[in-house]
């Protein structure tokens, strides 16, 4: 038997509960990615907001997220190499993906609205 004094460093409770630093005006979305709040008027941050939104939207919504980058609705196309039972599987998979895109429209819109400043929301409401 060995009488060795075990000295293990104890981590303070404060260090365990330490939260990651986030800068003002940014909200964490979907993990580590952050979206800035879109500001209205002179000195707005539209380009930075759009780049961040593109990354989050593609990660969260896939083909629907490409709408932000391409500025057009991108529906996946069906490519069949054969017309056997596997062709039927591809058709069902495509229909499922298109259906998910359609059901995600309100969620993407909500993500954009959530990260708009009050001035931006008021301007959109007026138009």
Report in angstroms the alpha-carbon separations of 92 from 25, 60, 70, 96, 98: 42, 22, 26, 6, 10
Per-residue pLDDT at 98: 92
- Which residue, chain included where needed, has tokens 């593109």? 54
Residue 97 near residue 19 (C-beta atoms within 8 A): no
Please name the helix (run of DSSP H) or strand (run of DSSP E) that holds residue 26, with its range, or none: strand 26-28
pTM of the model: 0.63
Can you tell me the distance from the alpha carbon of 42 to that of 49, in angstroms, rounded to the nearest whole number?
15
Query: At residue 27, what are phi and psi to the nearest 5 degrees?
Result: -125, 130
Q: Which residues of the chain are under the pLDDT cut of 70?
A: 1-33, 81-87
Per-residue pLDDT at 16: 47
């Amino acid at each position: 038997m060995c009488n060795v004094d075990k000295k293990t460093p104890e981590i303070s409770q404060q260090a365990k509960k330490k939260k990651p630093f986030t800068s003002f005006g940014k909200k964490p979305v979907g993990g580590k990615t952050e979206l800035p709040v879109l500001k209205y008027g002179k000195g707005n941050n539209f380009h930075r907001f759009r780049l961040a939104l593109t990354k989050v939207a593609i990660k969260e919504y896939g083909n629907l997220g490409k709408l932000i980058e391409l500025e057009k609705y991108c529906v996946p196309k069906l490519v069949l190499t054969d017309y056997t039972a596997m062709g039927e599987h591809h058709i069902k998979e495509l229909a499922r993906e298109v259906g998910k895109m359609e059901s995600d429209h309100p969620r993407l819109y909500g993500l954009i609205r959530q990260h708009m400043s009050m001035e931006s929301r008021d301007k959109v409401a007026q138009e």
